[in-house]
Structure 1
Amino acid sequence: MSYERLEQCPICGKEEFKNFLVVNDNAVSKESFVIVECENCSFKFTNPRPDTESIGKYYESEEYISHSNTKSGIINRAYHVVRSITTKQKVELINRHSPAKGAILDFGCGTGVFLAACKKDGWNLRGIEPNAGARDVASKETGEPIATDLGEVAGEKFAVITLWHVLEHIHTLNDTVEKLISLLQEDGTLIIAVPNADSHDAQQYKADWAAYDVPRHLYHFTQDTMKRLLKKHKMKLEETLPMKFDAYYVSMLSEKQKEGKTKMISSVLNGYKSNSYAEKNGNDYSSLIFVAKRK
């Protein structure tokens, strides 16, 4: 097992960090990982972390739903019910920002559920998924070939590029964002959804907050640090939208992580509290969607 330590903040480039939190990987390895915070821009990231050759073993779990589509257990069954609703909302979002439709690239498309909905709605599809098992499922789901990396779509142009809870997993953060922007049409739209480390549920659960998900999540964004990243890459933030269901789902996972069992009533109450807090306090929902275009 090989680890790498970042010596510079991926957003501002400064070299002064402080330890923010020690979090356990309860899903796979049971190891502990440190999340550090940049003293200059407050960006939080897992450091040190497994390198690109070693990270794969931390995804080897049947419970990793974006790769397996499992319906085992009450949490995953709830996930599937909610996903049918949120998939429709995602298609409505891309249609609002690109009514002419055209070509869409879903980077980290998992098992292809979102792309299949886009195809049904009249979009031309491209998907990228590095996990072989998920890629096979996505190809069957969409009826389209799914690429393994950005090299396979080089030179193509897209009206919309989406990353649904993917950017936090990418080792080469800035290089990947730069390449994705280069694939956008001149008036194209970049849509990024990530967990929000400033949310009420993150503050409540602290090290047990399931959306830290170390070491699979390498970065832990907030509204401010995402704005800084987009500005760095000369992108204009058009709007920031909540993913309200995530507060309940993450609370369910966090309760199970904290208490060793699923506690539905506590999860629902804490999810509701998190959304209520966000509605009154600056949009800090459990997960956020950032919609950006070129300046």
Structure 2
Amino acid sequence: MSNKIDFYKNLDPYLECKDYTVSGETYQVQINKEYEMLVTTPVPKQLGDYYESEAYISHTDAKKSLLDKVYQVVKKIALKKKLKLINSFNLSDKTVLDIGAGTGDFLKVCQNNTWKVQGVEPNLNARKIALEKGIHLQEHLEQLSNKKFDIITLWHVLEHVEHLQDYIKTLKNLLKENGRIIVAVPNYKSFDANYYTNYWAAFDVPRHLWHFSKTSIIKLFGNEKMTVATILPMKFDAFYVALLSEKYKHGSAKPLTAFFKGLTSNIKAARSGEYSSLIYIIKHN
């Protein structure tokens, strides 16, 4: 089934976005109405080049700018919440695979709390930083094809994957029968996405190839006979994304404005469920 799905067919215009991080290039973000999913076009041939920037903080551990410092503070809080989440499943073997592991902080926290850890990270610099923390990461997911895991996590990773449906099929094959896949992605139906439109930092073209809604995640994993069991909010994301979006829109971060926009997004999402980012807990049918 996964080979037959072409998400680039029957797309309608949605908006035009600029790459504010690396190239300054402009990309079309179009909508696949069947999946309620936005698609970035075109996909650059050398996509890896668009991650080579000190501004791409998940690969560097940078603490230079205000945005860097905010990111690191939020990350520490988020790591505790992520650990609490995976501990809540009471799994006996406690094996976890983190995909897009960055500089290894999440896996380090897991390792310090009796989890058996494996990780995948394509970026060489990030892998080197992780290794300094005692976390050895694989470059490619295929290197783990003979293993099975209790927990597979993708913290803001699925939006970067080129061959989307095939990748989800691979995730399913790596998951134990009673395991969980945890997917965190931005939500283009949030208030902050609608407010900032083409300045919304979580569009992050062309690195983000896909922009998901609840419907799209449910359908994509449903194609592989998997079920979304729970959807959880990532409330801090609204504030960080608003900071970046203000910078893109006005040339400076405008912390006070960003705070109130992030707060507004969370207040509205308390009713609608459409938070800036969402965590999906997924299991076998």
TM bracket (short chain): over 0.9
Letter in 2 for 1:204: Y
Counterpart selection for 1:285 from 270, 275, 282: 275
SS at match of 1:50: coil
Counterpart selection for 1:116 from 90, 93, 108: 108
Residues 1:9 and 1:279: Cα distance change in structure 2 (over 3 Å): farther
Kept in 1, the 8 Å contact 2:234–2:275? The answer is yes
Residues 1:197 and 1:246: Cα distance change in structure 2 (over 3 Å): same
Letter in 2 for 1:288: L
Seq. identity, %: 40
Alignment of 1:1-295 (within 5 A): 15-51=9-45, 54-141=46-133, 143-281=134-272, 283-295=273-285
Unaligned 5+ residue runs, structure 1?
A: 1-7
SS at match of 1:37: strand
Deviation at 1:101, TM superposition (A): 4.8
Kept in 1, the 8 Å contact 2:23–2:50? The answer is yes
Instruction: Figure out how many residues of one structure are paired with residues of the other and give that number.
Output: 284
Deviation per CA, 1:25-64: give whole Å up to 9, x if none: 011100000011114333211021113xx01111111011
Kept in 1, the 8 Å contact 2:3–2:165? The answer is no
Deviation at 1:11, TM superposition (A): 6.2
Deviation at 1:292, TM superposition (A): 0.6
Distance in 2, matches of 1:263 and 1:10, equals 46
Structure 2-normalised TM-score?
Answer: 0.96
Residues 1:77 and 1:68: Cα distance change in structure 2 (over 3 Å): same
Unaligned 5+ residue runs, structure 2?
A: none
Letter in 2 for 1:205: Y
After superposing the two structures, state which structure 1 stretch, 93-102 or 247-256, moved more. 93-102
Residues 1:197 and 1:9: Cα distance change in structure 2 (over 3 Å): farther
Letter in 2 for 1:289: I
Distance in 2, matches of 1:291 and 1:98, equals 15
Distance in 2, matches of 1:30 and 1:228, equals 33
Distance in 1, matches of 2:179 and 2:109, equals 20
Distance in 2, matches of 1:263 and 1:254, equals 10
Distance in 1, matches of 2:276 and 2:24, equals 24
Distance in 1, matches of 2:42 and 2:6, equals 18
Letter in 2 for 1:151: E
The equivalent of 1:3 in structure 2 is: none
Distance in 1, matches of 2:145 and 2:131, equals 20
Kept in 2, the 8 Å contact 1:33–1:214? The answer is yes
Structure 1-normalised TM-score?
Answer: 0.93
Distance in 1, matches of 2:267 and 2:282, equals 26
SS at match of 2:68: helix
Kept in 2, the 8 Å contact 1:194–1:287? The answer is yes
SS at match of 1:110: coil
Deviation per CA, 1:73-118: give whole Å up to 9, x if none: 1111011111111100001101112443521100110000000000
Residues 1:44 and 1:9: Cα distance change in structure 2 (over 3 Å): farther
SS at match of 2:253: coil
Structure of higher RCO (CA pairs closer than 8 Å, 6+ residues apart):
2
Deviation per CA, 1:152-190: give whole Å up to 9, x if none: 111111000000000100111111111111011111110
Kept in 2, the 8 Å contact 1:98–1:160? The answer is no
